[in-house]
Amino acid sequence: MMDEMEIVKRLKEKGYVLSMPRIAILRYVLSHRTHHTAESIYKALRQEYPNISMATVYNTLKLLSKEGVVHQIMIDENKVVYDSNTYFHPHFKCRVCGKIEDVDLPFNFQIPDELGGRKIEDFHIYLYGVCADCRKKLGI
Amino acid sequence: MMDEMEIVKRLKEKGYVLSMPRIAILRYVLSHRTHHTAESIYKALRQEYPNISMATVYNTLKLLSKEGVVHQIMIDENKVVYDSNTYFHPHFKCRVCGKIEDVDLPFNFQIPDELGGRKIEDFHIYLYGVCADCRKKLGI
DNA sequence: CTTTTGATTTATAATTATTCTTGAAAGAAG
DNA sequence: CTTCTTTCAAGAATAATTATAAATCAAAAG
């Protein structure tokens, strides 16, 4: 996974202007390599950058997603979550508390780059159920 | 996969009232065992039931999904798609034309019902890329 | 059969996540 | 500098979905 300097270099080469809000968002997601939403980033950055706007957060996340710096994950039916840990891993969502977690599968998983004539460029695995904490609390 | 009669029986046992719009929606999705959206069902049924409402379609799809008659698939970032083919199969979305297709994996795939302390109740696999038609058209 | 009761429907308003628009500001290029 | 382009913030607009409230309907009881 690339570090900030390499990413900044690559984005500049692509002609993007690395303005203050973009750098702030990039730096924030890279320093927390986990799941984010537009809203959570907005709230976290509003303290330091009080006049950043939601639209900028959305636009920047879309940009970073297009450039592969973060991955869009669609495990949640009502919002898009962005993951700055871009190594492939399945995601799990607890139906009780709603928490999203990374999971490791107990076996190797490989998707061919061609399937039935289609070109496969990306794939996602989402698991649903009850997380360990909620099982304990509920005794199930 | 259960047929209409069995499903109706099971839903009645659970105490649901099987009203006309519910039956119509159920019958429609069972006679087209593929992907639907609230909107596509609404449009299809409006001819025969001119005063059915979107809210009813949404509510009924949610009910059918809760009861396992259809599956919610979240491959599309801006709307929920319902699949009335409830045998497990991965889904594919073409990034060019947006079409959603069922795919067969060239190997067996099994998820344990417990993983890292979590209870796994359901899982989804989504593939993204370019479909066979679009590849032909674009020559890629 | 009626009546009653609670579930369901419709129409519409509200909400939520996201995108678009606009004018201003900041950068890059000449 | 001056011009051309890109990006920004703010808020309006949009699309999918959910909530609300009044009307209707289905099923059970009488």
Contact A94, B117 (CB under 8 A): no
Task: Quote the minimal CA–CA distance from B81 to chain A in Å.
Answer: 10
pLDDT at A72 over 90: yes
Q: Please tell me the predicted confidence (pLDDT) of residue B124.
A: 94
B104 touches chain A (CB under 8 A): yes
Enumerate the domain spans of chain B: 4-73, 89-138
Using a CB-CB distance cutoff of 8 angstroms, which residues of chain A are in contact with residue B138?
Answer: none
pLDDT(A68) > 80: yes
pLDDT digits (tens, 9 = 90+) for B16-50: 999 999 999 999 999 999 999 999 999 999 999 99
Of B99, B101, B112, nearest to A92 by C-alpha is B112
H-type alpha helices, B4-140:
4-13, 20-31, 38-46, 54-66, 132-138
Could you check: is the Cβ of residue A62 within 7 Å of any atom of nucleic acid strand C?
Answer: yes
Position A78 scores a pLDDT of 86
CA A35/CA B117 separation, integer angstroms: 21
CATH of B4-73, one of 1.10.340.30, 3.30.70.890, 1.10.10.10, 3.30.360.10: 1.10.10.10
Superfamily of domain A88-138: Ferric-uptake regulator, C-terminal dimerisarion domain (3.30.1490.190)
Which fold does the domain B89-138 belong to in CATH?
Answer: Dna Ligase; domain 1 (3.30.1490)
B71: enclosing H helix or E strand: strand B71-73
On average, the pLDDT of chain B sits at 93
Q: Residue A2 — pLDDT band, cuts 50, 70, 90?
A: confident
Supply the pLDDT for residue A111. Answer: 86
Q: Do A4-73 and A88-138 come out as alike in CATH topology?
A: no
Looking at residue A24, its pLDDT comes to 94
Select the residue of A77, A80, A129 nearest B122 (Cβ to Cβ): A129
Distance A79 CA to D14 C1' (A): 16
The SS3 of residue B130 is: strand
Average confidence (pLDDT) over B67-72: 94
Query: Distance between CA B93 and CA A120 in Å, rounded?
Result: 10
Is A56 in contact with A90 (CB distance < 8 Å)? no
Is B127 exposed, middle or buried (CB count within 10 Å of its CB: 0-12, 13-18, 19+)?
Answer: buried
Q: Is the pLDDT of residue A109 over 80?
A: no
